[in-house]
């Protein structure tokens, strides 16, 4: 089975992490897929994230760097990368290098006859108690709202490019991955869940628990519920 893969890396002000993130992706995919491309989306960074990514691209023609002039949020950056993807499968890797190269290699290696493979953490002890509580609450709420039994919504994933490019990503924030999973599953995509190793951010501070992020999550869930259960009728009234 062909395993040509597009890896999307969305990054905002990650000058201390972006090089290691790209290196980890190259390490993971260099010997696995038939072909690969890395799509780095510099989401309006104010630091050297874009320049460092461009330097990596000059040394590796399989790296494509896209720049947003202003910060638009993770969801918009991820969506930009997805639209630019050209390979048979699409996956993502965190710009803060918050995952292991081996986990990415493992998930790519598990490409089989399903449309979507996504992951859950096997060990969450390197996250704060508050972060773990919020994550578990989020999973519970999402499962209840959408009638699913997923173990995690924001981990690594891989899917057929046609599947993810057929859905509209409306979340501008960190909920974009969860939104994609729900939309693809509800559209009929077959899937399976596998565990992965979470390494934790090496440099800088996560923005996952800011008030702005929590507001973005609430808004994204509201829109997703509306789209799934109360889809707008087209102009013909169908």
The ranges assigned to domains in the chain are 5-229
pLDDT confidence band for 238 (50 / 70 / 90)? very low
Please name the CATH architecture into which domain 5-229 falls: Alpha-Beta Complex (3.90)
> How confident is the model at residue 22, as a pLDDT?
98
Helices 176-186, 211-229: inter-axial angle, 10-degree rounding: 10
> How confident is the model at residue 113, as a pLDDT?
85
Looking only at the bridges linking them, the beta strands covering 191-196 and 116-121 are: parallel
| pLDDT tens digit sequence for 81-107 | 999 999 999 999 999 998 888 889 889
> How confident is the model at residue 98, as a pLDDT?
87
Mean pLDDT of 50-75: 97
Rg (C-alpha) for the chain, rounded Å, is 17
In Å, how far are 133, 151, 155, 215, 216 from 139, measured between CA atoms? 10, 7, 12, 17, 16
| pLDDT tens digit sequence for 134-160 | 889 999 999 999 999 999 998 899 999
pTM greater than the 0.95 cutoff: no
Mean pLDDT of 37-62: 97
The CB density around residue 28, as the number of other CB atoms within 10 Å, is 26
Give me the chain's average pLDDT, please: 88
> How confident is the model at residue 235, as a pLDDT?
45
- With b for 16 or more beta-carbon neighbours within 10 A and e for fewer, the 129-152 pattern comes to eeeeebbeebbeebeeebeeebeb
Instruction: Write out the H or E segment, with its range, that includes residue 78.
Output: helix 74-84
């Amino acid at each position: 089975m062909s395993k040509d893969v597009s890896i999307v890396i969305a990054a905002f002000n990650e000058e201390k992490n972006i090089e290691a993130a790209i290196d980890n992706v190259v390490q993971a995919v260099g010997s696995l897929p038939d072909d690969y491309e890395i799509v780095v989306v510099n989401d309006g960074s104010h630091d050297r994230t874009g320049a460092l990514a461009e330097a990596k691209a000059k040394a590796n023609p399989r790296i494509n760097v896209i720049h947003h002039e202003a910060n638009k949020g993770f969801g918009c950056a991820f969506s930009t990368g997805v639209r630019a993807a050209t390979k048979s499968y699409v996956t993502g890797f965190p710009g803060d290098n918050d995952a292991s190269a081996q986990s990415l290699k493992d998930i790519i290696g598990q490409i089989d006859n399903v449309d979507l493979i996504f992951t859950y953490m096997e060990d969450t002890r390197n996250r704060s108690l508050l972060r773990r509580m919020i994550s578990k609450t989020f999973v519970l709420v999402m499962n209840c709202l959408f009638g699913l039994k997923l173990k995690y919504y924001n981990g690594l994933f891989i899917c057929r490019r046609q599947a993810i490019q057929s859905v509209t990503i409306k979340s501008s924030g960190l909920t974009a991955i969860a939104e994609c999973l729900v939309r693809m599953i509800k559209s009929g995509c077959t899937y399976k869940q596998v565990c992965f190793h979470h390494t934790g951010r090496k440099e800088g501070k996560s923005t996952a628990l800011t008030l702005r992020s929590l507001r973005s999550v609430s808004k994204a869930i509201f829109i997703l519920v509306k789209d799934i259960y109360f889809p707008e009728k087209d102009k013909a009234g169908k």
